[in-house]
């Protein structure tokens, strides 16, 4: 055997050993993958079994806790019943469950709970709630809300600080005369007002007019042709009340300006074609004495 043959055989042996080694590596790799897959499958199975076991344990513990809570509730109800606490069923709760737990309470040792010391309650003054207060009946807004009376002018002066105003002292049958500021300077001579019998609106809110408080208003027929003071019946006396048939006389002590009672009634105050002062065509009267009238102005506003 020559040297070339030896070399060839050596190479052949090396190649064969290499192929065998590579084949073994491949087989080992396949075996390793198979083993890994098997381990994964086993691990998944173990994981599922563990989760099921854990879930079962948690459910058992949860059931025990629920049972313990229900037991504690029953004991609490029993103790409350023994101490006189009234039991009220909750919404959507069967009354039978609650009553059965009360009628057949669990026998538990009753703790020695000292009775609470109750301090005598101070008697509180009963406060009238808004509900208990009856809301005042709102009267209709009509001429019955106006306090119209007969008055006698006892004194007339010019207002010191207003050229268009008179300052009148008018007897309305009260303890003392009322002070009235009236813008009649341009319409009625001072002499015609002195000692005159007039119709007075007495429940307007008093208001200051250039420093002097006016406590009423002299009622007049008024138009572009002029202004005339209304005259009550000839035999009227200071303090006589003015009525309007069909309307109950129930005047406010003082009309609230915010309610605008006079402003609501005023458009229906007027004289008729017989010179009578009217509300919605119903004449003003002083009972058993006659009508309140203007001197000459017919079918004009009264204010």
| pLDDT, mean of residues 165-183 | 95
Tokens of 209: 């007019």
Q: Sketch the domain layout of the chain as residue ranges.
A: 1-107, 143-291
Greater model confidence, 92 or 217: 217
pLDDT in the model for residue 103: 45
- Mean of the pLDDT values across residues 27-47? 87
Write down the residue that tokens 């009972």 correspond to: 287
Note whether 150 and 237 are within 8 A (CB).
Answer: yes
Q: Look-up: residue for tokens 């109800």? A: 77
pLDDT of 100 above 70: no
Mean pLDDT across the chain: 84
Residue with the larger pLDDT of the pair 219 and 41: 219
pLDDT at 214: 96
pLDDT at 44: 87
Do 152 and 161 meet the contact criterion of CB atoms below 8 Å apart? no
H-assigned helices in 172-299: 190-193, 261-265
Q: Predicted confidence band at 23 (pLDDT cuts at 50, 70, 90)?
A: confident
pLDDT at 70: 87
pLDDT above 90: residue 115: no
Residue 168 exposed, middle or buried by CB count within 10 Å (0-12, 13-18, 19+):
buried
Q: How far is Cα 72 from Cα 66, in angstroms, rounded to an integer?
A: 10
Least confident of 38-52, 83-97, 115-129, 289-303: 115-129
User: Cα-atom radius of gyration of the chain, to the nearest Å?
Assistant: 54
pLDDT the model gives residue 225: 87
In this prediction, residue 121 carries a pLDDT of 57
Question: Per-residue pLDDT for 80 more than 70?
Answer: yes
Out of 72-76, 101-105, 147-151, least confident range: 101-105
> Residue 54 has what pLDDT?
87
Percent of the chain at pLDDT above 90? 53
pLDDT over 50 (residue 106): no
Q: Are the C-beta atoms of 214 and 179 separated by less than 8 Å?
A: yes
Domain 143-291 of CATH type 2.40.50.140: yes
Most confident of 53-62, 70-79, 105-114, 151-160: 151-160
Question: In this structure, is the dihedral angle defined by the CA atoms of residues 288, 293, 298 and 303, taken in order, positive or negative?
Answer: negative
The residue-averaged pLDDT of 78-84 equals 77
The angle subtended at Cα 119 by Cα 113 and Cα 122, nearest 5°, is 155
C-alpha neighbours within 13 Å on the C-beta side of residue 197:
17
pTM value is 0.56
Q: What is the average per-residue pLDDT within 13-25?
A: 77
């Amino acid at each position: 055997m020559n040297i070339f043959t030896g070399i060839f055989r050596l190479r052949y042996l090396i190649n064969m050993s290499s192929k065998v080694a590579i084949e073994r590596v491949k087989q080992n790799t396949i075996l390793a993958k198979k083993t890994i897959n098997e381990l994964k499958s086993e691990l998944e199975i173990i994981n599922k079994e563990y989760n099921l076991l854990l879930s079962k344990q948690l459910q058992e513990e949860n059931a025990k806790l629920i049972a313990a809570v229900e037991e504690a509730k029953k004991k609490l109800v029993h103790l409350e019943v023994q101490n006189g606490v009234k039991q009220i069923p909750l919404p959507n709760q069967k009354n039978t469950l609650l009553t059965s737990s009360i009628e057949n309470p669990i026998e538990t040792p009753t703790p020695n709970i000292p009775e609470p010391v109750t301090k005598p309650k101070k008697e509180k003054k009963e406060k009238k709630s808004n509900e208990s207060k009856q809301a005042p009946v709102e009267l209709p807004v009509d001429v019955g809300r106006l306090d119209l009376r007969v008055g006698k002018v006892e004194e007339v002066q010019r207002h010191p600080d207003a050229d268009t105003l008179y300052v009148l002292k008018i007897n309305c049958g009260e303890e003392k005369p009322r002070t009235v500021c009236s813008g009649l300077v341009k319409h009625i001579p001072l002499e015609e007002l002195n000692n005159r019998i007039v119709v007075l609106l007495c429940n307007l809110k008093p208001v200051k007019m250039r420093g002097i408080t006016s406590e009423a208003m002299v009622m007049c027929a008024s138009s572009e042709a002029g202004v005339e003071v209304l005259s009550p019946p000839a035999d009227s006396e200071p303090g006589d009340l003015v009525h309007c048939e069909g309307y109950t006389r129930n005047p406010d002590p003082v009309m609230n300006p915010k309610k605008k009672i006079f402003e609501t009634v005023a458009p229906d105050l007027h004289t008729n074609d017989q010179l009578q002062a009217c509300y919605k065509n119903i004449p003003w009267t002083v009972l058993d004495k006659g009508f309140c009238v203007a001197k000459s102005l017919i079918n004009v506003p009264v204010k």
